Amino acid sequence: MAKLIYLQGLNDRRHKCTELIDSLNLDIQNGPWIAGGAAISLYTKQVINDIDVYVTNRQQQLDLEQLFVDKHTITYESENALSVKVELVKDERHKVQLIRKGLYKKIEDVFETFDFSVCQIATDGKGNFVATPQALADLGAKRLRVTHFNPDSFMPRWAKYTMYGFELPADEFTDYVANINNEQFKDIHKFNINY
């Protein structure tokens, strides 16, 4: 992976709920991190749908799990994730998800799991970010670039990011779609008919 770019002190891109961010005990250098969609939203000053938190070790995971159980409402739990509804301020709700499916020694390990380059960005929620150079370039250009192709999730993920204004060149899209089997397309067709 290319050298990472660290951006610090972007005060206009902090998460508005400092109490939430402080409780997560995030650390841009050593984890845990907010990565992917929420980091994109903070960096581009967009609305955050949910916050995915990635950890480096079992102790970070246990600490966050304990915080979630003690202080928040659990909405979903599996071996891959623990999701909670956070209500620290009246009429302000946040969905936070602790990613359990891996322990990541460094942020590059998290980035390696993402399908699109634009997702390769992380933050501590306090205006500090780390990203790949390609992620920053593609965020600026609104360019969708596949870094890890998964035929099972490609179409819904492509649709999601297209709705966010990102574009994947038509020739690349055609190449990826050619690698999706007909059964997956039948399901997509059924979805579109009912939509």
In this structure, the number of other CB atoms found within 10 A of the CB of residue 120 comes to 31
Same domain, residue pair 134 and 168: no
Same domain, residue pair 60 and 107: yes
Same domain, residue pair 130 and 164: no
Boundaries of domain holding 193 = 149-195
**Closest C-alpha among 49, 21, 54 to residue 121:** 54
Same domain, residue pair 172 and 89: no
For residue 169, whether the previous peptide bond is cis, meaning omega lies within 30 degrees of 0, is no
Q: What is the reported pLDDT for 184?
A: 52
Pair type for strands 5-7 and 81-89? unpaired
Query: Stretch 157-174: mean pLDDT, rounded?
Result: 95
Same domain, residue pair 28 and 49: yes
Please determine, for residue 149, whether its predicted confidence score (pLDDT) is greater than 90.
Answer: yes
Same domain, residue pair 130 and 178: no
CA angle 7, 148, 101 (to 5 degrees): 80
Q: Is 75 within 8 Å of 30 (Cβ atoms)? A: no
Same domain, residue pair 168 and 188: yes
Q: What is the reported pLDDT for 185?
A: 55
Same domain, residue pair 103 and 154: no
CATH code, domain carrying 118:
3.30.460.10
Q: Is 132 left (phi over 0), alpha (psi -120 to 50) or beta?
A: beta
**Closest C-alpha among 129, 106, 102 to residue 118:** 129
Please determine, for residue 188, whether its predicted confidence score (pLDDT) is greater than 80.
Answer: no
Query: Stretch 132-141: mean pLDDT, rounded?
Result: 98
Q: How high is the mean pLDDT of the chain?
A: 91
Residues 6+ apart with CB under 8 A from 112: 1, 148
Same domain, residue pair 168 and 105: no
Same domain, residue pair 136 and 153: no
- Tens digit of each residue's pLDDT (9 = 90 or more) over 53-109: 999 999 999 999 999 999 999 999 999 999 999 987 777 889 999 999 999 999 999
Among 31-40, 134-143, 165-174, 186-195, where is mean pLDDT lowest?
186-195
Count structural domains, the chain.
Answer: 2
